Structure 1
Amino acid sequence: MATDIKDVTHAVDAAAVMALLRGRPRLLALGEPTHGEDALLDVRNELFRQLVEQEGYRTITIESDCMRGLLVDDYVTTGAGTLDQVMEQGFSHGWGASAANRALVRWMRTFNDGRPAADRLRFAGFDGPLEITGAESPREALTALHGYLSARVDTDLLDATCTLDTLDRLLGPDDRWTNPAAMTDPSRSVGQSADATELRLLADDLVALLDAQGPHLIATSSPDDGDRARLYGRTATGLLRYHYWMADTSPSRMTRLVSLRDRMMADNLLAVAGADADAAAVGAVDPAAPVDRAPVLVHAHNGHLQRNKSTMRMGGLPVEWWSAGAIVSAQLGEEYAFLATALGTIRHKGVDSPPRDTVEGLLYAGPEGCSVIDARGLAAALGDSPPAPRVSPWFGYAPLAPAHLADIEGIVFVKDV
């Protein structure tokens, strides 16, 4: 057994990772089993650097607000703003305080300095403007989409859909959308009010106008402007849908919310990969045509990237949903690849050495501090008797599920954090 595991274990580098893949995926997803550990982000940063320099990767997208991520992308591509401003305003979930994320942004800006636009690195957030405590107002996305259209579409045609004053009146104060009490009390949500219902219809009409005017908009917009307009449309409709279900009182409310979040993530990932239906609708990309975009590294929690159903407990009840990775994998097939990260210890969180009869325990017995393992080869080596699932004493760490090994291209194992 030890020899078999050693045979499928390699140092973590771009060449070893690419050797695990059946082809050249549009999206290479690297998951993490816990958030907030810069040691894991350092591994991500080094792998991305090697993928850029050796494999032609040009984009990284992470589990952060897609709208805020535009500020980061502007900085790394053009130098707009300052590093401090970007770290403070360009990330959600507190990721801007991470030294490893700061190092990533600084390195991307340095790499891009003096390069032609076509060869520059790009950054994207692929999460919605959502937090565990609630969701943002749809104002920014709706008004940005309206502004894009107003600069390019006949005024009478746009005004027949809605005016900016109409949007402002229906949106009202932003704090009624961002009330954190709405996450636990549906009656505090504005999502099923008459104003929100009308906004959902108007947002749908604005996106329809964006699609219908596709030939003209492509001719009068840069590709980046067109991509951002579709991002505004996806985000506006997604947020309004999310707010609607925040006001729901049925037992399926939380399942709906976590499913909608990952659906928004999946739509953004497909767009970054150049395979989104929105872009195809306006003629910007043919999903069936050969891919001319450089491949993308995706980084998020394992639970958002795995092909199997994701599970968690919320309010003492189990919740199951299809992750963004599962949705994207179903559409892209082998053009989506997933590496799951597993850990040996996080002693400062009370996660000590793993039991020897778990996957983590078997890998922890090896000498390597950080390694990449052929997951399917490991599954074959383990045979018909998979190891026991590991149980974490800390809620913030999600151990690897042994039953999922056959659905993972590789495991990045970090022995001690």
Structure 2
Amino acid sequence: MANLIKETVHSVDSAALLRLLSRRPRMLALGEPTHGEDTLLHLRNELFRQLVEEGYRTIAIESDCLMGLVVDEYVARGEGVLDEVVERGISHGWGALAANRELVRWMRAHNEGRPAAEQVRFAGFDGPLEITGAASPRQALTALHDHLAARLDTGLLPCTRETLDRLLGTDEQWTEPAAMMDPARSAGQSAEAGRLRLIADDLAALLEEQAPRLTAAGPREEWERACLYARTATGLLRYHHWMADRSPSRLARLVGVRDQMMARNLLALAERGPVFVHAHNTHLQREQSSMRMGGQRLEWWGAGALVDARLGAEYAFVATALGTIRHRGVEEPAPDSVEGLLYALPEDRCLVDTRRLAEALGDARPAPRVSPWFGYFPLDPDRLDGGDGLVFVKDVPPA
């Protein structure tokens, strides 16, 4: 068995990764099984630098799509100061991670003096969401309204800016921390919220209806940003609606809406050209995702599954699995687990041909590994051949 396993592994670099694939995909997604580990993020950075040489020009990470505009302005035009940019432009507190700062610094240095066609771009593709709640729709909705009001006859708009501000009310009602656990504390199904959903839908439809005029009137980038505001406004209002829901399907709908927002952002980025994506395995895998939350088992289709349904062979997914994260209590895997078999190899990290590995293991797959720490999602042996490859990292030290 050990020799068969050895025959499935390669070095971790972009050339080996692309050789695993039947074609060069428009969207290449690298998953991670846990968040916040610089070791994994430095590996992501290394692969992206190599993929830029292969023609990939955009990196999209699991971070707030609106905050990400701050980072993209910095890497494309040098607007801002690096430390402030990563703090303001990368959500979930991940701007403090050294590897994320290094990614942004390298992208800016790479772009210096290059023509726009050769520049690399940054995007967050998550909604303005946290596990504890969601942002106010104000930023996205008012930006969309202002974009249209500045370019079209205001009589075409469904309401004035003053009406929009009145319906939005205070941001605190939208960001109420207790709303995640208590639907009654959410403003998502108020009369005002219902009216805002109709307005957001009308504004998004107007943006689409007027596309020939709007795309001719200014840079393509302005149009793409307005489309981002439209997707975010409608998605956020839908998310808030389900936060106020009292049915048993509430949490499942919330995670589903979030990944739908992610998928719509990714599909828009894919229209630019080749994209390298980095996020949690559960968001990027082709199979249905699941987790336990609030005492329930939730199942939903992640962004990767939704994108795969649209792009087909133009989407490729490579998962990541780990041996140890000792500072999190994750010790060496059992020798008979998939992670244990890979841990026995001499390489500190390797790229695994998962289809060949699945063939080597046969029908009698090892039992899934059980992690003592909730933050690490072990590999599912029955889903090995659902991806296009696997990156295995032997040990993850503390930052």
User: Which residue of structure 2 aligns with residue 277 of structure 1?
Assistant: none
User: Which residue of structure 2 aligns with residue 42 of structure 1?
Assistant: 42
User: Which residue of structure 1 aligns with residue 2 of structure 2?
Assistant: 2
Query: Structure 2: how far apart are the matches of 1:253 and 1:225?
Result: 35
The answer as to 2:236 corresponding to 1:239 is yes
User: Which residue of structure 2 aligns with residue 60 of structure 1?
Assistant: 59
Amino acid aligned to 1:131: E
Amino acid aligned to 1:78: R
Residue correspondence of structure 1 range 378-397 to structure 2 within 5 A: 378-397=357-376
User: Which residue of structure 1 aligns with residue 89 of structure 2?
Assistant: 90
The answer as to 2:158 corresponding to 1:179 is no
User: Which residue of structure 2 aligns with residue 70 of structure 1?
Assistant: 69
Query: Structure 1: how far apart are the matches of 2:27 and 2:174?
Result: 33
Query: Structure 1: how far apart are the matches of 2:8 and 2:147?
Result: 51
Aligned to 2:188, what secondary structure does the other structure show? Answer: coil
Query: Structure 2: how far apart are the matches of 1:59 and 1:331?
Result: 19
Aligned to 2:290, what secondary structure does the other structure show? Answer: strand
Aligned to 2:278, what secondary structure does the other structure show? Answer: strand
Residue correspondence of structure 1 range 255-274 to structure 2 within 5 A: 255-274=252-271
The answer as to 2:160 corresponding to 1:163 is yes
Query: Structure 1: how far apart are the matches of 2:126 and 2:367?
Result: 32
The answer as to 2:292 corresponding to 1:313 is yes
- Alpha-carbon distance, 1:360 to partner: 0.3
The answer as to 2:320 corresponding to 1:341 is yes
Q: Kindly provide the CA deviation profile for residues 156-202 of structure 1, in whole angstroms up to 9, marking residues without a partner as x.
A: 222xx111101100000100000010000000000000000000000
User: Which residue of structure 1 aligns with residue 115 of structure 2?
Assistant: 116
Stretch of structure 1 that moved more, 308-317 or 40-49: 308-317
Query: Structure 2: how far apart are the matches of 1:59 and 1:211?
Result: 24
Query: Tell me, which stretches of 5 or more residues in structure 2 are unaligned?
Result: none
Pick from 362, 365, 388: which aligns with 2:344?
365
Aligned to 1:398, what secondary structure does the other structure show? Answer: coil
User: Which residue of structure 1 aligns with residue 80 of structure 2?
Assistant: 81
User: Which residue of structure 2 aligns with residue 281 of structure 1?
Assistant: none
Pick from 208, 221, 224: which aligns with 1:211?
208
- Alpha-carbon distance, 1:339 to partner: 0.5
Query: Structure 2: how far apart are the matches of 1:132 and 1:30?
Result: 22
Query: Structure 1: how far apart are the matches of 2:145 and 2:273?
Result: 30
User: Which residue of structure 2 aligns with residue 229 of structure 1?
Assistant: 226
Aligned residues: 396
The answer as to 2:279 corresponding to 1:303 is no
TM-score (norm 1): 0.94
Stretch of structure 1 that moved more, 310-319 or 299-308: 310-319
Amino acid aligned to 2:301: W
User: Which residue of structure 1 aligns with residue 391 of structure 2?
Assistant: 412
TM-score (norm 2): 0.98
Query: Structure 1: how far apart are the matches of 2:299 and 2:74?
Result: 37
User: Which residue of structure 2 aligns with residue 24 of structure 1?
Assistant: 24
- Alpha-carbon distance, 1:17 to partner: 0.2
Measured on the aligned residues, the alpha-carbon RMSD in Å equals: 0.7
- Alpha-carbon distance, 1:155 to partner: 2.2
The alignment-based identity, stated in percent, is: 68
User: Which residue of structure 2 aligns with residue 150 of structure 1?
Assistant: 149
Aligned to 2:19, what secondary structure does the other structure show? Answer: helix
Pick from 248, 251, 260: which aligns with 1:254?
251
Query: Structure 1: how far apart are the matches of 2:15 and 2:273?
Result: 17
Query: Structure 2: how far apart are the matches of 1:46 and 1:18?
Result: 15
- Alpha-carbon distance, 1:381 to partner: 1.0
Aligned to 1:126, what secondary structure does the other structure show? Answer: strand
Query: Structure 1: how far apart are the matches of 2:84 and 2:116?
Result: 23
Aligned to 1:201, what secondary structure does the other structure show? Answer: helix
- Alpha-carbon distance, 1:294 to partner: 3.3
